[in-house]
Chains A and B, each alone.
Chain A
Amino acid sequence: MITAEYIKEELKQVKDPEIPTISIVDLGIVTGIDILENNDIHVTLTPTFAGCPALRLMEDMVVDHLSTYPELGKITVETSFETTWTTDLITEEGHAAIKKHGLAPPIRNCSNISMEVLEATNCPYCDSDNTTMKSPFGPTLCRSLHYCNNCKQAFEGFKPV
Chain B
Amino acid sequence: MNNITALKELLYKIADDQLIIGHRNSEWTGLGPILEEDIAFSSMAQDKIGQSEHIYNLLHQLGEAEPDTVAFTRNAEQFHNSQLTELPIGEYDFSLLRHFLFDFAEYIRFGNLRESSYQPLAQVAKKFYGEIKYHTMHANTWIYQLGTGTQESHDRMQNVLDNYWNTALGMFEEGPAEELLISEGIFMGEKALRGKWLEVVMPLLEKSSLKVPEADTWEPIVGGRTGKHTEHLQPLLSEMTEVYAIDPSADW
Interface residues of A (CB under 8 A from B): 47, 49-53, 80-82, 84-86, 113-115, 134-139, 141, 145, 159, 161
Contact = CB atoms under 8 A, between A and B. Distances in A.
Contacts of A85: 127
Given A49-B131, A81-B126, A135 B47 contact: no
B134 A137 contact: yes
Given A135-B40, A137-B39, A50 B137 contact: no
Contact of B49 (A51, A82, A115, A161): A51
Contacts of B131: 49-50, 141, 161
B138 interface: yes
Given A81-B54, A137-B36, A137-B44, A50 B124 contact: yes
B51 interface: yes
Nearest to B49: A51
B47 A51 contact: yes
B123 interface: yes
Contacts of B42: 137
Identify which of B40, B46, B141 gathers the most chain A CB atoms within 10 Å of its CB.
B46
Chain B interface size range: 20 to 34
A114 B133 CA distance: 9
Given A50-B47, A115-B141, A84 B123 contact: yes
A105 B138 CA distance: 21
B50 A51 contact: yes
B30 interface: no
B127 A47 contact: yes
Contacts of A47: 127
Contacts of A141: 43, 46-47, 131
Interface in B98-144: 120, 123-124, 126-128, 130-131, 133-134, 137-138, 141
B50 A52 contact: yes
Nearest to B55: A50
Contacts of A53: 46
B48 interface: yes
